[in-house]
Amino acid sequence: MGNSMARQAVRAAVSQKSASKRQSLMQRLFAIWFDAFVYNQIWEDPRVDIEALKLDESSRILTISSGGCNALNYLLEDPASVTAVDLNKNHIFLLNLKKAAIENLSEYEDFFEFFGAGKGPGTIHNYKTFIASKLDAETLSFWESGSLFGRVLTGKRIEYFRRGGLYEHSRNGYFLRVFHRLSKMLGCPPEEILKALDRDDQERRYEKYIEPFFDSLIIRAVGKLPVTLFGLGIPPQQFAELKKDIGENGSIVDIYRERAKKLAVGYPIEDNYFAWQAFGRKYDTQNRKAVPEYLKAENFATLKKNISRLRVGVGSVTDEIRNNEKGTFNRLVFLDAQDWMDTESLTELWELIADRAAKGSRVIFRTAGSASPLEGNLSTRLLSRFQYCDKESEAFFERDRASIYGGFHLYTVL
């Protein structure tokens, strides 16, 4: 898929035919924002995914890539295959780089330097020596070029791994960097939560360093701006769903506050790498407990052994299901894409799942609001082809360490 076609696909994905003029404008603006390197890591908890999907050696997984972390985490469960697709080519270029690094770096420490620390003195040498020649032409061009603004600041994108680090970059990374600086100006240094000694200390540090941030008049004003929503990866459609959970007297900032508190105190800080990225813009590179499983030393050999089972491509999950034979996939991961879709797109996708996926196949996704969009958009006939696992969905949602969504949803094919 060429650059112009990929760009059109992204714009189509965030556009809804029934949108008002204002919504259409916001959707176009979000499409421009999203047509870039947005995520340097994924923001869905693979620990929850793996349990909900019941992964085993017969699992044939289709997932949206985003930062690619979860596709690699799934490989540790010895599935039959993992297929990762994304309409955003920039995310595919990141996963292609990770895949080539796994295949061609022999030492775990060299791999961790790239994607655990996000930078290091050996990254560029190892890239040039072992990785660059293994990349396809488009991926190579991406990492050895940069946007006009980016070239002035960092040069080629591969220099991210030497200057600043991977986790300082991407639009989500820049967004977090700006808000960290604003937090410190307001006397609320977010990284203090990472020094907590236990769960009680997490509570104390949250109340001292993070809670006051949401009471600031500046934050209550900035939090409502479209650029803030875009920076959090929230398209206009998701914001509309979020507003349903806010209530008449509430504010979007109250939703941010609620989810930030869950992220800060809902789980032990020592292994919640989502909290480390949100509040510190890094993983715990010293103890290496608060890092994704695919970045742990004990899993590197398994990752190398199974990496050939990963297939990566640019495109939509709808097209991927359509273009493959029945039974190709029996585990499907849609991240938050269902929030982006209108009734027509949702119906098209779920008709394909009903037709192509075997009985017992499992489908998971997250939503900005608490409710599943399928219930109000799919016909009764189509919904009858699936079982909504409501109790399990609620339990998985409560255990999702990323804490940025309002709902987790599990469906099985009947």
353: how many CB neighbours lie within 10 A of its CB? 22
Helix 21-34 crosses helix 236-246 at what angle (to 10 degrees)?
120
pLDDT band, residue 368 (cuts 50/70/90): confident
**What was the pLDDT predicted at 77?**
98
Sign of CA dihedral 145, 146, 151, 153: negative
**What was the pLDDT predicted at 248?**
61
Q: What is the average pLDDT score of the chain?
A: 90
Span 239-247, average pLDDT: 68
Beta bridge partner(s), residue 311: 83
How many Å apart are CA 408 and CA 263, to the nearest integer?
16
153: pLDDT strictly greater than 70:
no
- Copy the structure tokens of residue 338: 């269902």
pLDDT band, residue 258 (cuts 50/70/90): very high
Higher pLDDT, 409 or 223: 409
DSSP H or E segment with residue 97: helix 89-104
309: pLDDT strictly greater than 80:
yes
DSSP H or E segment with residue 83: strand 81-86
How many Å apart are CA 95 and CA 86, to the nearest integer?
10
Pairing verdict, β 362-367 and 407-413: antiparallel
How many Å apart are CA 55 and CA 239, to the nearest integer?
32
307: pLDDT strictly greater than 90:
yes
Place of tokens 């409710």: 371
